[in-house]
Amino acid sequence: MQFRSLGKTGAQVSEIGYGAWGIGGEMWQGSEDAQSMIALRRAVELGVNFFDTALAYGNGHSEMLVGKLRRSSVEKIIIATKVPPKNRQWPARAGVPFNETFPRDYIIESTEQSLKNLRVDTIDVQQLHVWSDEWVGADEIWEAVRLLKSQGKIKAFGISINDHAAGSALKAAKTGMVDLFQVIYNIFDQSPEEELFPYCLANNIGIIVRVPLDEGGLTGRIKPETVFPDRDWRNNYFRGDRKQQVYDRVQKLKPLLGAEAKTLPELALRFILSNPAVSTIIPGMRNIANVETNTAVSDGKHLSEKLLKELKKHKWVRNFYGE
Ligand SMILES: NC(=O)c1ccc[n+]([C@@H]2O[C@H](COP(=O)([O-])OP(=O)(O)OC[C@H]3O[C@@H](n4cnc5c(N)ncnc54)[C@H](OP(=O)(O)O)[C@@H]3O)[C@@H](O)[C@H]2O)c1
């Protein structure tokens, strides 16, 4: 496992981190705690030291599992969690005032709840789960961040940027208050390269890459006939002819497999690690097989300029979350 700096936080984080949404259950059907704990522990054995969870994942259930992992690990692990918007609206919508999403006391209460779920005294990374640059002048938000840091309840502060909207937090970046951003960046959505990444590189702001596999689409496992469990949220994400659309796009990537990346998940992760702005990637994982495959990609080898240039042709601008 290779490590990178998480911006100015001073932390060294594993290039492959752990996305812990799925193990919270609820929206992702088919998660079993026993299997999730085995996957989490295997990740630590293989060098993963960065775990991304959220209060909203299974209403604290994912946090409880990650907290349990921390207590049982000899190795030091870094935990990032998130404050859900008070109005429970994902993503943030234009025109909604900050006091409906992140009033000062609510940020503090939510952090206290996460501290309890995780059973820790300090949260390594606290993030806001949605963001709108319309809130950049809301002093209450920054006051809450300063207070939580001064009390030692959080070490670093980040913002999870709205889906496929990499440019929607640039004003926040310029406040100097944000230690790191979490953003969607993958072969289909390469938009963070335009403004966000150059700014963050120049200003030493960490980047956590989420949804590296396009919710499974970029693994090649989503086929037109794929069926998800009844209450799984992916029934909505991949609704209508979307599975076919994803499948068709992915077929076009297959000729690019070879010496540099033998499989689609490997190609997807290597593409992201080839960008120096990235601190860590957090693929969603629920079993040992995926943990082993994904961690193996962190070997210091980056894709060639030639292949990266080819991959630029596979950008796909769309928003399956919001459309
Ligand atoms: N707004 C936000 O802040 C936000 C939103 C979304 C996600 N996140 C964070 O980002 C993390 C990653 O995003 P995500 O989990 O939604 O999407 P993702 O990482 O793009 O995809 C997860 C899917 O890929 C599958 N997978 C993982 N590794 C694989 C491999 N090697 N081969 C084949 N399939 C593989 C998983 O399989 P299984 O189904 O078998 O587990 C799961 O179905 C989340 O867990 C969460 O921590 C944050």
Best residue among 51, 184, 211, 228 to mutate for probing ligand 1's pocket (most ligand atoms within 8 Å of CB) is: 211
| CB distance 211 to ligand 1 below 6 Å | yes
Ligand 1 center from residue 251 Cα (angstroms): 20
Please state, in angstroms and as integers, the Cα–Cα distance from residue 271 to each residue in 1, 184, 253, following that order: 17, 13, 12
Q: What is the pLDDT along the chain (323 residues), one digit of tens a residue?
A: 999 999 999 999 999 999 999 999 989 998 999 999 999 999 999 999 999 999 999 999 999 999 999 999 999 999 999 999 999 999 999 999 999 999 999 999 999 999 999 999 999 999 999 999 999 999 999 999 999 999 999 999 999 999 999 999 999 999 999 999 999 999 999 999 999 999 999 999 999 999 999 999 999 999 999 999 999 999 999 999 999 999 999 999 999 999 999 999 999 999 999 999 999 999 999 999 999 999 999 999 999 999 999 999 999 999 999 86
Instruction: Tell which residue, 289, 211, 288, has the closest CA to residue 37.
Output: 288
Domain boundaries, the chain: 3-215+264-312
| CB distance 20 to ligand 1 below 6 Å | yes
* Distance between CA atoms of residues 204 and 277, nearest Å: 9
Cis peptide before 91 (omega within 30 of 0): yes
Q: How many helices (H) and strands (E) does the chain have?
A: 11, 10
* Distance between CA atoms of residues 145 and 126, nearest Å: 9
pLDDT of 323 reads 65
CATH class of 3-215+264-312: alpha beta
* Distance between CA atoms of residues 291 and 39, nearest Å: 7
* Distance between CA atoms of residues 286 and 228, nearest Å: 15
| CB distance 164 to ligand 1 below 6 Å | no
Please compute, for residue 132, the number of CA atoms within 13 A of its CA located in the half-sphere on the CB side. Answer: 18
Please state, in angstroms and as integers, the Cα–Cα distance from residue 52 to each residue in 28, 48, 233, 282, following that order: 16, 11, 19, 7
Please state, in angstroms and as integers, the Cα–Cα distance from residue 231 to each residue in 27, 30, 227, 236, following that order: 7, 10, 11, 10
Contacts of 144 (CB under 8 A, 6+ apart): 102, 104, 105, 107, 108
Give the residue whose CA is nearest to atom 29 of ligand 1.
290
| CB distance 217 to ligand 1 below 6 Å | no
Ligand 1 atom closest to Cα of residue 284: 15
Task: Give the containing element (helix H, strand E) for 123.
Answer: strand 123-128
Retrieve residue 157's tokens: 């502060």
Give the residue whose CA is nearest to atom 13 of ligand 1.
211
